[in-house]
Amino acid sequence: MTAKFRNVMQPAGRHRVLVVMGRDVDPARDSGVAIIEEALMRGLRVDVCAGADLCFTAGGAAAEARAVHAAGVAGLALEDPAGVPLARYDAILIRTDPPFDAAALEATLLLEHARGRALMINDPRGLREVNEKLFALRFAAFAPPTAVLREPAAIHAFCIEQGGVCVVKPLDGCGGRGVFVLRADDPNAGVIVDVATGDGRRRVIVQAWLPVTETGDKRIFLLDGEPAGALLRMPSGSDVRANLCRGGCAHATTLTAREREIASAVGAACRALGLVFVGIDVIDGRLTEVNVTSPTGLRELEQLTGRRVQAQIVDWMQARFRRDLRVVA
């Protein structure tokens, strides 16, 4: 295992970074691990913790964190956990998967105690502001016909209005989880809507069908509001989901003029909210999602093109360290 680590020892660099991330990740594909690996190569000190490991005591806000000695496709080599005040960190990288539930809300509120001391990637306020499905609706000119509904009858009616086929998605899902293709003539259409809405008790996103099986789903990475790279994801087999964790295939790609226009508009809004690293999803020139919690695909992009967005992210951090900038209240 350790032979696959690119870094064999954590250097005692001056700047210290905390990465708040899930414990159950695939290091060979996880973008957070790629960023940690790059940070260690640059001489940064890196600690990791889960959102549940944040706390507040008489000494202030702290993390039950584990120092990272090495990182790579084999995973992370970690020290035993130890309490570290958030005030000791120069940057905090927040990468916790949806759903953004009560626990995630509490974590962002605890991280507020590092404001004015650490660079936030991404800003906790922005994470509280942006729902990854609903935020795309702020850019209606770029989004497909979309409704947010919970009443089954209204969902069926909208589907018929859109030509009889729609996509139904949960408001808080990720990785293609809970996504259905709804066809008005499907004998199971009623069952699909009942399951998706919990018999009408919860809202869902309902979007007009876009030709993802023909055009693919393009993930565009934004760094501080600007395009940093892009990846085309194509569904595999009979599955209409292009998510890489669902068997989708990654391909190298370039951006069209329309996609650059979308990236510019969304990027400006994200920058204003302190959302430094973002992944937007575009299908057939239409914006479908704005991923701000834990965008993935950096490993695949590097393998296909050699482009290392993780290096650009660490460049961004180090430039601000040199300027000694900190987020202000």
Buried/exposed code over 218-238 (b: 16+ C-beta within 10 A; e: otherwise): bbbbbbbbebbbbbbbebeee
Q: pLDDT tens, 114-153?
A: 999 999 999 999 999 999 999 999 999 999 999 999 999 9
pLDDT at residue 240, rounded to an integer: 81
What is the C-alpha R_g of the chain? 20
3-class secondary structure per residue, 53-98: HEEEECCEEEEEEEEEEEEECCEEEECCCEEEEHHHCCEEEEECCC
Task: Name the nearest CA neighbour of 141 among 252, 312, 286, 289.
Answer: 286
Task: Tell me which CATH homologous superfamily contains domain 145-208.
Answer: ATP-grasp fold, A domain (3.30.1490.20)
User: Structural domain boundaries of the chain?
Assistant: 2-128+316-323, 145-208, 212-291
Q: Which two tokens stand for residue 278?
A: 């973002």
Q: pLDDT tens, 54-69?
A: 999 999 999 999 999 9
pLDDT at residue 314, rounded to an integer: 98
Half-sphere exposure of 173 (CA within 13 A, CB side): 16
Give the chain's residues under pLDDT 50: 1-13, 325-329
Please tell me the CATH code under which domain 2-128+316-323 is placed. Answer: 3.40.50.20
Average pLDDT over the chain, rounded to whole? 92
Q: Which two tokens stand for residue 91?
A: 């940057």
Which residues are the active-site residues?
Answer: 133, 169, 219, 233, 241, 281, 289, 291
Please tell me the CATH code under which domain 212-291 is placed. Answer: 3.30.470.20
Model confidence, pTM: 0.91
pLDDT at residue 28, rounded to an integer: 92
